[in-house]
Amino acid sequence: MSRPVGVYVHLPFCASKCAYCDFPSYAGQERLREAYTQTLCAEIAERAARTGPLRVDTVFLGGGTPSLMAPGQLARILETLRAHYEVLPDAEITCEANPGTLERALLDTLAARGVNRLSLGAQSAHEDELRLLGRIHTWEQVAQSVSLARAAGFDNINLDLMSALPGQDWPGLRASLQAALSLKPAHLSCYSLILEEGTPLYERHARGLLRLPDEDTERQLYWNTVLLLEAAGYPRYEISNHCRPGYECRHNLNCWNYHDYLGFGLSAAGLLRGRRRKNPAGLRAYLDREPPFEEALSAADERFEMLMLALRTCRGLDEAAFASRFGLSPQEAWPQALPKHLDGGLLKREGGFLRLTDRGFDLMDRALVDFLPD
């Protein structure tokens, strides 16, 4: 029997567009939520007819702001998934939510449909940073959302934070991390801000109106975060992800371990039996059922993707799993690049796993470029 797959569902509606966001998300389009739900459910049914029966061990409702959907719409999406695929009884089912959009009725609906993990976009405990980022909520609303979620029975809660914000120093970031820890989440993600072209923050930076931490400061903030969270009982298990033991995000781990997954909704990508599939990115294009982009990956592409994703994790690449999948060892796949980076100190080999060293985490892109397929 083949291994279970993950499912990602993209829900692109947002209350307003954050100043740093270049994700496929739309503000002011809530009137299209029903049409979107119908299109999404139709996509699931049609795709299931083509993939055949599959077992599902993780579901991730991401966005956008899934908590902006009506409870009944989310319920129909989850029911449609269960009607067409075998969602396993112990599946991890995550829903992203934004403070300021979370209500008890929605949480009760999610819990009743088997959602057992919540991921809250908290970003910062400082009101001026939240305003700069264009977030719609305060820190008080983050704390209220956590309480509301706990009261509805959720104990597996992730908080997303951001680092390397304009003007941010370590005392400022430390205060956000400590405020987040005081809410006792099971999982904490802390991503460095990357300014994406076309976003308001990018434009302000281009006009010289924002000062970003330089590269050395950004790295210092990163490693200070790792040390603080590890000391607080939240070891890092992926570049930007920390949790209490046993609360790793199974959905993301499956992706980093290069397991197959299906993607539904606009811009959602999937990988199944060596074929990559990506839905159109525009809301209108998706609602009009424009066809997805599909491609078969070459063996060299797959080998590179498996390495690149595994190296994001602290566990690293399982050399035996790689060899059994591809019929050759990493050493045979990369006879020059591998010794170069083992000798150069960006990679290390431990207990059958290939891992980045601390320096390798800082210079990951520089290392990976040597492993790219010709």
- Is residue 186 within 8 A of residue 241, CB to CB? The reply is no
Residue 228: CB minimum distance to ligand SF4, A? 24
> Is 39 a residue that touches ligand SF4 (CB under 6 A)?
no
Our CB check for ligand SF4 shows the closer of 47 and 117 to be 117
> Is 109 a residue that touches ligand SF4 (CB under 6 A)?
no
Q: Which of 7, 9, 21, 262 binds ligand SF4 (CB under 6 A)?
A: 21
DSSP state of 180: H
- How many angstroms separate the CA atoms of 361 and 226, rounded? 12
- Is residue 277 within 8 A of residue 294, CB to CB? The reply is yes
Sheet-wide strand order for 86-97:
236-238, 241-243, 187-192, 157-163, 117-123, 86-97, 55-63, 5-11, 261-264, 269-272, 275-278, 293-296
> Is 141 a residue that touches ligand SF4 (CB under 6 A)?
no
Our CB check for ligand SF4 shows the closer of 65 and 141 to be 65
> Is 17 a residue that touches ligand SF4 (CB under 6 A)?
yes
Residues 6+ away with beta carbon under 8 Å from 335: none
- Considering only residues 47-66, where is the footprint of ligand SF4 by CB under 6 A? 63-65
Q: Is 215 exposed, middle or buried (0-12, 13-18, 19+ CB in 10 A)?
A: exposed
- Considering only residues 309-368, where is the footprint of ligand SF4 by CB under 6 A? none
Our CB check for ligand SF4 shows the closer of 25 and 94 to be 25
The SS3 call for residue 278 is strand
Our CB check for ligand SF4 shows the closer of 100 and 316 to be 100
- Is residue 74 within 8 A of residue 37, CB to CB? The reply is no
Our CB check for ligand SF4 shows the closer of 56 and 190 to be 190
> Is 119 a residue that touches ligand SF4 (CB under 6 A)?
no
Chain residues in the site for ligand SF4 (CB under 6 A): 14, 17-18, 21, 23, 25, 63-65, 98, 121
